């Protein structure tokens, strides 16, 4: 059994910084890496703001906040990433994930776990060009990571069962609920939930209702967020990328067809909350 104590996370966007906060809160030393200094500064500010909010709500103390921040190292230097578990939350492009994992594999021991937070790219494809592919695994958090309890652990064709089990124990120690999944397009949650977005977009395309009314209807039916509000939170561009990936992996199955409306939002730079405008204005 591997002892997981130090964590390195690549990608200081909403997901990466959220996972970093979760790990540091659970008592782990965490390195958060990004090639862009502005992303690291934004991640630091967002984590500090999130922790301040928890202090104001009485969920943690001011002392806890200082301790959590003290466990976080923000770095642009990839050679700093020597850890027991390295988790990437970078852009959903296979070649970039390969490049990153090849770089960190070269500076870590062969039993260092290499984990991907991919939403849709098969773990087996990611592991294919990495040395010791048996230690490559999917650990898929959901946004926002500090709030959402569910985490999917995905085994690729070559993933050792012991690696998946070690990850299961580690994720459970974060206070999360784990589900084990095989390597299939969209895994479990994104495959099932894809239609929440796709069908909402089809209703909008057919002018059956406005996106505001669709959201209001779904929220009044018990959903915490309607599909358009949720796409804005996740990132319209990220959501569109995942839909495209799943559509291709299912060989163009029409039920996963990406939306022209979503494509236009992405082309216009309307990426949701992070850009100040998506389906809604922020």
**Contacts of 207 by beta carbon, 8 Å cutoff, 6+ apart:** none
- Options 17, 143, 190, 239, the catalytic residue: 190
Residue found under tokens 């594999």: 105
* Omega cis (within 30) before 160: no
- Options 17, 108, 117, 140, the catalytic residue: 140
Q: What is the C-alpha to C-alpha distance for residues 114 and 89, in angstroms, rounded to an integer?
A: 12
Alpha helices in the chain (DSSP H): 14-25, 37-56, 62-70, 94-105, 123-127, 161-173, 189-205, 211-220, 227-234, 236-249, 260-268
Look up 206 and say whether it is catalytic. no
Look up 140 and say whether it is catalytic. yes
Structure tokens at 282: 């922020």
User: What is the torsional sign of CA 100, 89, 190, 182?
Assistant: positive
Look up 199 and say whether it is catalytic. no
- Options 108, 119, 120, 239, the catalytic residue: 119
Greatest extent of the chain over all pairs of C-alpha atoms, in Å: 56
Look up 98 and say whether it is catalytic. no
In this structure, the dihedral spanned by the alpha carbons of residues 91, 97, 103 and 104, taken in order and rounded to 10 degrees, is 90
- Options 152, 239, 241, 271, the catalytic residue: 152
**Residues that are catalytic:** 119, 140, 152, 190
């Amino acid at each position: 059994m591997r002892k997981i104590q130090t964590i390195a996370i690549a990608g200081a966007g909403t997901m990466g910084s959220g996972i970093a906060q979760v790990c540091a809160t659970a008592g782990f030393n965490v390195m958060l890496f990004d090639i862009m200094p502005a992303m690291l500064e934004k991640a630091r500010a967002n984590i500090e703001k999130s922790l301040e909010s928890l202090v104001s709500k009485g969920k943690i103390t001011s002392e806890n906040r200082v301790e959590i921040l003290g466990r976080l190292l923000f770095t642009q230097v990839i050679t700093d990433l020597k850890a027991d578990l390295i988790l990437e939350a970078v852009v959903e492009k296979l070649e970039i994930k390969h490049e990153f994992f090849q770089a960190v594999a070269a500076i870590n021991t062969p039993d260092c776990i290499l984990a991907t937070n991919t939403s849709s790219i098969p773990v087996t494809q990611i592991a294919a060009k990495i040395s010791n592919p048996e230690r490559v695994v999917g650990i898929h958090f959901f946004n926002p990571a500090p709030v959402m309890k569910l985490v999917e652990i995905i085994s690729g064709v070559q993933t050792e069962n012991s690696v998946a089990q070690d990850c299961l124990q580690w994720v459970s120690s974060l206070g999360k609920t784990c589900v084990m999944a095989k390597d299939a397009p969209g895994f479990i949650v994104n495959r099932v939930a894809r239609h929440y977005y796709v069908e909402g977009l089809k209703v909008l395309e057919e002018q059956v209702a406005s996106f505001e009314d669709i959201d209001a209807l779904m929220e009044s039916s018990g959903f915490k967020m309607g599909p358009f509000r949720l796409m804005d939170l996740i990132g319209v561009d990220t959501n569109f990328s995942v839909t495209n990936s799943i559509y291709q992996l299912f060989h163009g199955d029409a039920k996963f067809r990406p939306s022209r409306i979503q494509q236009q939002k992405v082309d216009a730079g309307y990426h949701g909350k992070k850009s100040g405008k998506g389906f809604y204005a922020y």
